[in-house]
Amino acid sequence: MSSATSTKAVAARTAAAPGPAETTAFKPWQFFVLAGMFGATATVIVATGQSPAGIVTLSLTVLAGSLVAIGAYETLVPLVSPDATHAPKLIQGRTRAALEREKTLALRAIKELEFDHAMGKIADADFQDVRDRLRARAIGLIQQLDAGGGYRTVIDRELEVRLGRKPARPADAGTGGGTAAIDTDPAPAAAGVCASCGVGNDADARFCKNCGSKLA
Amino acid sequence: MASLGAFLLLLSFIVAAYAAAACVAGARRHSHRLVESGIGAFHTVTALLTVASGVIVHAFVVGDYSIKYVQRYSDSVQPLFYKITSYWGGLDGSVLFWAFLLSVFGTVAVSVNRERHRELIPYVVAVTAVVEMFFLFLMIIHNNPFDTFITQTPADGRGLNPLLQNFYMAIHPPTMYLGFVGLTIPFAFGMAALITGQLDDSWLRAVRRWTMFSWFFLSLGLVLGMIWAYEELGWGGYWGWDPVENAGLLPWFTATAFLHSVIVQERRGMLRVWNVTLVILTFLLTIFGTFMTRSGVVQSVHAFGDDPELARLFVMFMVGVALFGFGWVIYRMPMLKARHELDSWMSREAAFMLNNWILLFAAFFILFATMFPTLSEAVAGERLTVGPPFFNKWMTPIGLMLLFLTGVGPLLAWKKSTASNLQSQFLWPTVLALAVSGALVAMGVRVWVSGLCFALCGFVFGTIAQEFIRGAQVRRDTTGTDLVTAMVGLVGRNKRRYGGYIVHLGIVLMFLGFAGEGFSVDQQVLLKPGQEATVGAYTLHMDALRVTDDGQKQMVTAHVTIKDSSGAVLGQMHPAKWFFRKHEEEPTTEVAIRRSINEDLYLVMPAFEMQEQSASMEVHINPLVNWVWVGFGIMAIGTGIALLPETVFSFAAAKLPAGATAAMLALGLALSPGAAQAQHVDAPSAGIVVQRNPAERAVTKKLACWCGGCSKLPVDECTCGHCAGVRQEVDGLLAKGMSEEAILQYFVTQQAGQHVLAEPMSGIGRYAWLVPYGLGATGILLVGAAAVRWSRRRHEDGEAAAPVADSGLNERLDDELRDLD
């Protein structure tokens, strides 16, 4: 019944979405499940003369019918409700997340390297060499993340955009085309930091990938 | 009810089409509500297919024989369990089951990842819905499980194929399908990543577990199929390279390759194009597997007969998927390019690349060999058969190479290993491998393939043990605990890595089992009550041949007492032949197996003579075969540990259902030889051991059974009646003084068009084999060239390893590194 559970969970989430005040109210999926149960019970009463296994499968099938009703409800309701729940995307989310991910990757690589070294898999000279390289990359990433501003700055900026204080940038572009490509090899140090919005860019970038202004 | 079912299928198709369209339109127009509605429709398809499944199961349970599918695959005397499992017993139902499982998986995957991968979800829904639509379309226009009889409704059904009325066979298709269908989800996420252009690692994170989960069920399905073949088909083995077995193995190879190359992308950011390609390839192979099973394009024990229209539909779908998938890969190629650097050939990356190449080559080789009859028919107009000996001959070195890499890979470090390290790393595993070889030579084992396999098993075991012990030592030194706690912590902190090692351990045990086949003993004996025959260390005493009936079938059972060499009674065994009602012409051979951890004694009664009370018996002694199942149990535990969520600590592994189930499975099979029974024996006379002429065996080894029912086993081993006839015929021909070549030629001419040789010997057959090898060689050249280029690029880069001077930043880095623990 995993499909049933997940569908219900989704239904519950949809129903609870408008606000915390409605959490105690009767939710649509509960109505459908109850109806399904009534239907199943009715089936058991009507379907006399069948084998017990037959009655069980039949009533389960009727109960599954309530899932169809929930699905139909979920399909139709979003169409008639206003398109207001659409939240603007985190403008810097992907860039930052990718950088963070990159950093974790570098840190993990250092850890793994140290572990391998401790287990005697790698020679001292090589270990030093590779570790220095990895550390240089990790530090570069940390600097880049710093240059992009802490999470507070990001959140503040995000809030401003959402509250409409600043003209919103073309935020939705991420979903459609190829704008979201993240180079996995960001430049070390703060070479490509944008002067106007503070976002870190690739070392060889000529325009900011966030706001489009020309880089120094 | 039948028309309700048909209506539900039609409705599902329409709703799925709406889901795909709404999601794509919603994503393109940034309309949240369209996407929401599309997802709702996607869930509705799941609900509709649940109801449709309910309808068909109900029809089976109550015996609604007006539905053709129900009439064909069940009857009134069938036990309830098999009535329910008949749902997937035939073609139409299994297509419905496929679609149903896919919709359930899709719903779960979408619900779990809805918030985390918001941008990908609309396309995941669209891709999955399109795949669902294909299967729904198949059912609606071609294989409707709800088709009814127009005029006369039969009073009873024809019954499920008796061979399929076996517990393992009842649960084998669903596990196989869980694997197949589960692999659609990584494909959908991969395609969504390609379409949206969000090609960083996030989609990999979303599908990692799905791939592991599907891979596990695929493995389970394969093993259940093996157990079924071993227990039900009665030819003494478990893997016959039957096209359908191969169909399951193909995506298993590519999925295994994917599970390994994902690690390289995660650690090193390399192989992005390769990973997307593997996902698409794996999906194509699952569809191809379903196609091969269901269309009868290659003859097989499971295939449901020739059906050119179905074949056409599948081919169209596969071509469409391939064009769409690889088209997007090519379109996104510039974005998929990552900086590749290979520091050294002696690195784990290089080992992974080699492993990927071998796995892919294995998949391609099997694909080619499986399709060979069809290909040769298309090219030369002659259907050339490829028998198991051919597969065994070529897959053995591939398997051994993989086993070797399993041992080598973990010993290499990422980036670079040097000579002195290699020495310290390889010392103990190599010593263990040499010790094993020495012991084998001392014991007088002279089967070199098995010997090599044992030695490699020792090597890999040494590697795994060393990884665990040294890792625990390092951790003990850093954390200051004892070795056991350190080991638990080690596994808990890096579940995927150490879970993976446990999976490797399972593989080692399975290989032990495979190697045991090199020592198997086969013999045929003819026994009458009171007679005895000795095979290997066992003496078989025939007590009686009895006939019984349980309403569903007539059973002819031989009662045989087994004694050891000293004459002590070990137990009773009852090989039998069952004649199911309405299926009398295809009796099933019920094997008697006496399991032990060393070897199985495996008795089959292929033929009997009721009036003379005589039974001919095939006696197989299969050493180490149970280690295959035990190995799978260990593999399941390893997968379970690797699948545990990050937050669960490793000692919770014991609670894991997947691991536990498989361990139970392994234990359940365990190895309980029947209680010894004292038997009174009246002066036993000797039975006739059917001495088979070595010249005849040499010839029949080269012939593949062409009766149509067996899986093209060599005539030498096949237990069917047809092959018994062929063996006699060969004996006769040999007596006439014909040479081996002449006899083979005689059968080839006699069976014009339907080739009977186990290995292609002449003409196109000989040259066609250049194709897979040529491609394999090209593959390794390409891997080598890429590696050379990447390692050269790295040297040109000459990235200066200057330590960063800023001490503040260095301290911060150290802090972060500490926090990572």
The lowest-confidence range among A174-188, B58-72, B155-169 is A174-188
Averaged over B219-223, what is the pLDDT? 90
Q: What is the pLDDT of residue B721?
A: 64
Contacts of A6 in chain B (CB under 8 A): 107-108, 111-112
Cβ within 8 Å of residue B497, ≥6 positions away? none
pLDDT top residue among A51 and B339: A51
Listed in order, strand segments (DSSP E) in B86-201 are none
Averaged over B148-175, what is the pLDDT? 78
Averaged over B622-646, what is the pLDDT? 86
- Tell me the pairing of strands B576-580 and B569-573: unpaired
The lowest-confidence range among A164-173, B47-56, B189-198, B577-586 is A164-173
Give the rounded percent of residues in chain B with a pLDDT score beyond 70.
84
**Which of 60-119 (A) contact B at CB < 8 A?**
60-61, 64-65, 67-68, 70-79, 81-83, 85-86, 94, 98, 101, 103-105, 107-113, 115-116, 118-119
Alpha-carbon gap, residue B607 to B603, rounded angstroms = 12
Closest residue to A111, CB basis, from B15, B812, B817: B817
The tokens of A176 are what? 């459609």
* Number of A–B residue contacts, CB under 8 Å: 228
- Helices B721-735, B740-750: inter-axial angle, 10-degree rounding: 130
Alpha-carbon gap, residue B359 to B260, rounded angstroms = 10
* Whether pLDDT at B18 is above 60: yes
Q: What is the pLDDT of residue B323?
A: 95
* Whether pLDDT at A19 is above 80: no
Q: What is the pLDDT of residue B648?
A: 53
The lowest-confidence range among A119-128, B37-46, B246-255, B504-513 is A119-128
Closest residue to A57, CB basis, from B61, B196, B332: B61
Q: What is the pLDDT of residue A188?
A: 40
Closest residue to A53, CB basis, from B31, B55, B80: B80
The lowest-confidence range among A21-35, A196-210, B276-290, B704-718 is B704-718
Alpha-carbon gap, residue B512 to B800, rounded angstroms = 48
The lowest-confidence range among B38-47, B366-375, B744-753 is B744-753
Mean pLDDT of all residues belonging to chain B: 80
* Whether pLDDT at B129 is above 90: yes
Q: Which residue of A has its CA nearest to B41?
A: A75
Specify which residues B571 forms β-bridges with: B562
Q: What does the pLDDT look like over B380-430, one tens digit per residue?
A: 666 666 777 778 888 888 899 899 988 888 888 777 777 777 788 888 889
Q: Are B388 and B240 in contact (CB under 8 A)?
A: yes
**Nearest of A106, A57, A89, A95 to residue A183 by alpha carbon:** A95
Q: What is the pLDDT of residue A90?
A: 45
User: Cβ B820–A107 below 8 Å, yes or no?
Assistant: yes
Q: Which residue of A has its CA nearest to B497?
A: A112
The lowest-confidence range among A115-129, A177-191, B6-20, B729-743 is A177-191
Q: What does the pLDDT look like over B665-674, one tens digit per residue?
A: 444 444 333 3
* Whether pLDDT at B309 is above 90: no
pLDDT top residue among B191 and B528: B191
CA distance A114 to chain B (A): 10
User: Terminus-to-terminus CA distance in chain A, angstroms?
Assistant: 59
Averaged over B516-535, what is the pLDDT? 84
Q: What is the pLDDT of residue B794?
A: 56
* Whether pLDDT at A81 is above 80: no
User: Cβ A175–B196 below 8 Å, yes or no?
Assistant: yes
Q: Are B800 and B377 in contact (CB under 8 A)?
A: no
Contacts of B48 in chain A (CB under 8 A): 68, 71
Averaged over B152-158, what is the pLDDT? 79
CA distance A56 to chain B (A): 9
**Nearest of B698, B737, B740 to residue B716 by alpha carbon:** B698
The tokens of B711 are what? 């899986």
**Which of 10-39 (A) contact B at CB < 8 A?**
10, 14
pTM: 0.78
CA distance B172 to chain A (A): 20
Alpha-carbon gap, residue B320 to B327, rounded angstroms = 10
Give the number of other Cβ atoms within 10 Å of residue B76's Cβ.
11
Q: What does the pLDDT look like over A169-202, one tens digit per residue?
A: 444 433 333 333 333 344 343 567 777 787 777 7
Averaged over B476-482, what is the pLDDT? 80
At B164, phi and psi to the nearest 5? -90, -5
Q: Are B44 and A72 in contact (CB under 8 A)?
A: yes
Cβ within 8 Å of residue B367, ≥6 positions away? B246, B250, B285, B288
User: Cβ B61–A123 below 8 Å, yes or no?
Assistant: no
Q: What does the pLDDT look like over B603-619, one tens digit per residue?
A: 888 888 888 888 888 88
Q: What is the pLDDT of residue A173?
A: 38
Which helix (DSSP H) or strand (DSSP E) does residue B580 occupy? strand B576-580
Q: What does the pLDDT look like over B328-373, one tens digit per residue?
A: 999 888 877 766 667 677 778 888 888 888 899 888 888 888 887 7
Q: What is the pLDDT of residue B767?
A: 63
* Whether pLDDT at B537 is above 60: yes
* Whether pLDDT at A9 is above 50: no
* Whether pLDDT at A142 is above 60: yes
User: Cβ A3–B343 below 8 Å, yes or no?
Assistant: no
User: Cβ A181–B197 below 8 Å, yes or no?
Assistant: yes
Q: Are B52 and B9 in contact (CB under 8 A)?
A: yes
- DSSP state, B416? -
Q: What does the pLDDT look like over B749-800, one tens digit per residue?
A: 776 544 556 555 555 556 666 777 777 788 888 888 877 777 666 555 544 4
User: Cβ A136–B61 below 8 Å, yes or no?
Assistant: no
The tokens of B561 are what? 């007492």
